[in-house]
Amino acid sequence: MRSLKTLIPFEDARRMALDLVRPIDRTEIVRLLDASGRVAAEDVRSRIDVPLADRAGMDGYAVVARDTAHATKSRPVVLRRLEVLHADTISRKRVTAGSCTEVATGSTLPPGANSVVRFEDTQREGNVVKIFTAVRARQHVVARGADIRRGSRVVRAGERLTSAKVGALAAIGAAGVRAYAQPRVSILTTGDEIVPPGKPIRAGQAYDINSNTIASLVRANGAVPVLLGRLSDRLPTLRAALRRGLANDFVVFSGGSSVGERDIVVDVVKSLGDILFHGVAVKPGKPTSLGRVVGKPVLGLPGYPTSCLINGYLLLAPMLRRMARLPAAQPQIVDVPLGKRIDRATGRLEFHTVRIVDGQAFSAFKESSAITSMAHADGYIEIPADVERLEAGETVRVTLF
């Protein structure tokens, strides 16, 4: 067995992790349907006015405003209806004094008209329309370019594309947008005992939890997971797999980073590059490692599912967000009383998972190997290295997942 000789503070590990990565410079054209959540790589300016012409803002009648100046409920103005326009119809008839055109919301305003009277303020018999209220010029009219002016900037480079920004791009007719490429993350799971979900299992084996949790976390933080499968705990196999993984931007190993004779991920990374740290003064996740091979980060996460995922949240996710040019996550934090005392061994900063029940926090942590320590938790509390007990009723700060 090999011991972890030096454990670095968690904050040092996080700083080294973030210092190792840089934002991706590659760009690509992304279909509009796939653009939400991506980061624009260039400014986008409109080549058209939106809308393209003045249009009706209400169902009603397009009129010359001055025709309605003296209209009241008791003394309506009478106009002659020229035609009926639908949203996609372009009028060829000019509205002049004494006439009007029936319009639907969104209809292009017919020539000559400068206002719209709502249906509710009219009464029609055949082509004779009574107007019961006066309207001012441009009332109930959406002006050409009122939404987006030709030449105006619709999206700025570096902005994350929300659903609304995608809608603005659609409004100017863009079928796609140039965005920064998402980091591609090679995910490798070590362990002869690991079995893919869906396959038969026997005693001594375990289903592959970590590939799926890491892939989900990668996708949620603006990157693309590339699963390279389970690897046997053999140096040549792991070295070949690492070389394959380096075709992508980032490599994550699950398992093989502890202290047993067969935990050889660190040896493999050292054989091809550098190890920046191996061992973090944190619980769970002490055997986490970080290396660099041909300039690319190689993160070794523990094999136990809770250790793997909590360090995925705290180390991997911030690294990926920086590479993907996404802002740092802003988790929701709540202060609640602790429902039951927590006792622990001192010496390491602990990220202790909790669930919130009836406004109180209760420990959800079972052990590092239990995925339900995470799956049944609402968030975690940070317990400083020198604190051995948290008492029931004490207020704790919960960072929600």
pLDDT (tens digit per residue) in 112-149 = 999 999 999 999 999 999 999 999 999 999 999 999 99
Top-level class of domain 333-400: mainly beta
Give SS3 for 43.
coil
Give SS3 for 350.
strand
- Sign of dihedral through CA atoms 285, 291, 296, 300? negative
Tell me the pLDDT tens digit for each residue of 297-334: 999 999 999 999 999 999 999 999 999 999 999 999 99
Q: In degrees, to the nearest 5, what angle opens at C-alpha 188 toward C-alphas 198 and 13?
A: 130
| Overall size of the chain counted in residues | 401
Tell me the pLDDT tens digit for each residue of 79-98: 999 999 998 999 989 999 99
Please name the helix (run of DSSP H) or strand (run of DSSP E) that holds residue 265, with its range, or none. helix 265-272
* Cα end-to-end span (Å), the chain: 35
Query: What pLDDT does residue 59 have?
Result: 97
DSSP secondary structure code for residue 49 in this structure: -
| Residues with Cβ within 8 Å of residue 119, at least 6 apart in sequence | 58, 59, 60, 61
- Which residue matches tokens 């997942």? 401
| CA pair distance 179, 101, nearest whole angstrom | 45
Identity at 113, one-letter amino acid code: A
pLDDT in tens, the chain (401 residues): 445 668 999 999 999 999 999 999 999 999 999 999 999 999 999 999 999 999 999 999 999 999 999 999 999 999 999 999 998 999 989 999 999 999 999 999 999 999 999 999 999 999 999 999 999 999 999 999 999 999 999 999 999 999 999 999 999 999 999 999 999 999 999 888 888 889 999 998 888 999 999 999 999 999 999 999 888 878 899 999 999 999 999 999 998 655 454 568 999 999 999 999 999 999 999 999 999 999 999 999 999 999 999 999 999 999 999 999 999 999 999 999 999 999 999 999 999 999 999 999 999 999 898 899 999 999 999 999 999 999 999 999 999 99
User: 55-142, superfamily in CATH?
Assistant: Molybdopterin biosynthesis moea protein, domain 3. (2.170.190.11)
Contact criterion met (CB below 8 Å) for 275 and 299: no
Radius of gyration of the chain (CA): 32
Contact criterion met (CB below 8 Å) for 250 and 184: yes
Using alpha carbons, select from 203, 207, 204 the residue that is nearest to residue 194. Answer: 207
Q: In degrees, to the nearest 5, what angle opens at C-alpha 381 toward C-alphas 380 and 385?
A: 130
Top-level class of domain 10-24+182-323: alpha beta
Using alpha carbons, select from 148, 193, 192, 200 the residue that is nearest to residue 174. Answer: 148
Spans of all domains in the chain: 10-24+182-323, 27-49+151-180, 55-142, 333-400
CB-based burial label for 32 (10 Å; 0-12, 13-18, 19+): middle
Fold (CATH) for 27-49+151-180: Molybdopterin biosynthesis moea protein, domain 2 (3.90.105)
